[in-house]
Structure 1
Amino acid sequence: MSERIFITLGSQKFQFDRLLKAVDELYEKGILKEQAFAQTGYSTYQPVHYEYKNFLNRDEFEKEMEKADIVITHGGTGAIIGAVKKGKKVIAVARSAQYGEHVDNHQLQIINQFKEQNLICGLTDVKGLENAVGYIRTHDFDDYQSNTDRIIGSIKQYIESL
């Protein structure tokens, strides 16, 4: 069975045309052959080689995420965590303030944190996307480990000690 790619760019009022174009270029080069679907958000670029919709409702989003083996996303915390929790292979690309993709470059820090934990393939620029696709196909990532239970346990222990 062939892999499926889900590209999600979030719902904030910023475009990320560079990433959508870079994915199209990988189809043109024959690097990508998998079926893909993109949730493009406020981007104005219209993909040529894969299906897309600007915004998905919650159910549509979950269905696309479930069908995907690979998720290509921006460096938003929610998008990354949502994908790694579901065991998806994730390529996260930082938006850049320089190109009007966000107000600052905080996504670089977010991506680096997830990358250091061996949870994702993180990119500082779309220029690395071709190499990232090859890397993600062969690399074994660690499973996401939530620390929510540990935090709740610590809070309970503290409250009980009062």
Structure 2
Amino acid sequence: MIFVVLGTQRFPMNRVIDKIDNLIEIGFLNKNKIVIQNGHSKNSKYAENLGMIDESAFNNYIKNSDIVITHGGTSSIIKALRNNKKTIIIPRRADLREHVDNHQFEISDMFKNNGYAEVVLDIEDLKEAIINIEQKEYKKLSLPNGLADFLINDILKL
């Protein structure tokens, strides 16, 4: 199952929904194996839409997924990686009114550059990222000393 996480921000990420629907339409993705936590984004025409869900349900979907496609929110990324899920990050873009700035690009780059996840900047590259992620191995995330130590020592390397 692919779990798509678009978060709880009031800004929609409809380009992700449109691309998922397109990949279902062309037969690349199976609509019965896609679950979307779409928050404030529109509903998919084909996949299961969850809107907003509580943390327990969210964690259950993460646990039962094979691949997580997520916006660039730190919490969503770390929850996927802590559960050893292959993760594709699509950072929110300010120019598309998906956020007020592009800080998710920096967060996403840190995870990609350190070997934890794939990053899709151009939504047209999502299909290729799904193909690639199934064939690659990624570093496993462990947070023995907590999030702050992980960010400082492993990601920022301060």
Deviations along 1:30-78, one digit per CA (max 9) or x if unpaired, are 11126111110111x2201210121001221122111101001101111
Q: Give the whole-Å Cα distance in 1 for the aligned partners of 2:123 and 2:77.
A: 17
Deviation at 1:125, TM superposition (A): 2.3
Q: From 39, 42, 47, give the equivalent of 1:41.
A: 39
Aligned-CA RMSD value: 1.6
Give the 5 Å matches for 1:1-162: 4-33=1-30, 35-43=33-41, 45-146=42-143, 148=145, 151=149
Larger radius of gyration, structure 1 or 2? 1
Letter in 2 for 1:30: G
Match of 2:152 in 1: none
Question: Are the equivalent residues in 2 in contact too, given 1:37–1:50 (CA < 8 A)?
Answer: yes
Structure 2: unaligned runs, 5 residues or longer: 150-158
What TM-score does the superposition give when structure 1 sets the normalisation length? 0.85
Q: Give the whole-Å Cα distance in 2 for the aligned partners of 1:67 and 1:97.
A: 31
Q: Give the whole-Å Cα distance in 1 for the aligned partners of 2:46 and 2:136.
A: 26
Q: Percent identity?
A: 33
Letter in 2 for 1:70: I
Match of 2:154 in 1: none
Question: Are the equivalent residues in 2 in contact too, given 1:111–1:123 (CA < 8 A)?
Answer: no
Deviation at 1:147, TM superposition (A): 5.6
What TM-score does the superposition give when structure 2 sets the normalisation length? 0.88
Q: Give the whole-Å Cα distance in 2 for the aligned partners of 1:126 and 1:147.
A: 34
- What SS is found at the alignment partner of 1:148? coil
